[in-house]
Amino acid sequence: MSTLPPCPQCQSEYSYEDGGHLVCPECGHEWSADAAAAGDEARVIKDANGTLLQDGDTVTVIKDLKVKGSSLVVKVGTKVKNIRLVDGDHDIDCKIDGIGAMKLKSEFVRKA
């Protein structure tokens, strides 16, 4: 029996094979078995509508987001310019006018 690679997102060792994909039962991340064998999976980050995001894009917030540790709220419709994509749970680094530097999840934005 061959050993399967750990999840590239959360490093869980409990990944399993489902057809041509590998699946992590802990975080739900799915990735191609071919990409895992090659070892160089390209970072693909999509917005709430499934549109591919890139560094420098402008996005719009689609949900009111509370800012942890303060009483501030990022309102629906807030435009965020010049985003930077990073690895991790919150995959967008940005600066929001009136709030400052923040990390956002791509599931709460759409490409403008």
Tens of pLDDT, residue by residue over 15-49, are 888 877 888 888 888 877 665 555 545 678 999 99
Predicted confidence band of residue 87 (pLDDT cuts 50, 70, 90): confident
Q: What's the half-sphere exposure (Cβ side, CA atoms, 13 Å) at 55?
A: 5
Residues 19 and 31: beta-carbon distance below 8 Å = no
- For 41-67, the pLDDT digits (tens) are 567 899 999 999 999 999 999 999 999
Residue 76 in tokens: 């629906």
Tally the C-alpha atoms within 13 A of residue 22's C-alpha that lie toward its C-beta: 22
| Whole-number pLDDT of residue 40 | 46
Which pLDDT score is estimated for 79? 96
Q: Where are the strands (E) in 1-112, listed by range?
A: 16-18, 21-23, 30-32, 59-61, 65-66, 73-74, 79-80, 84-85, 92-96, 100-104, 109-111
Are the C-beta atoms of 70 and 90 separated by less than 8 Å?
no
For residues 63 and 89, the model is more confident at: 63
For the chain, what percentages of helix, strand and coil (3-state, to nearest 5) are there?
A: 10, 30, 60
Over pLDDT 90: what percentage of the chain?
A: 52
Closest by alpha carbon to 42, among 27, 50, 56, 52?
52
Which residue would you say has higher pLDDT here, 96 or 14? 96
Q: Three-state DSSP class for 23?
A: strand
Compute the mean pLDDT over every residue in the chain, rounded to the nearest whole number: 86
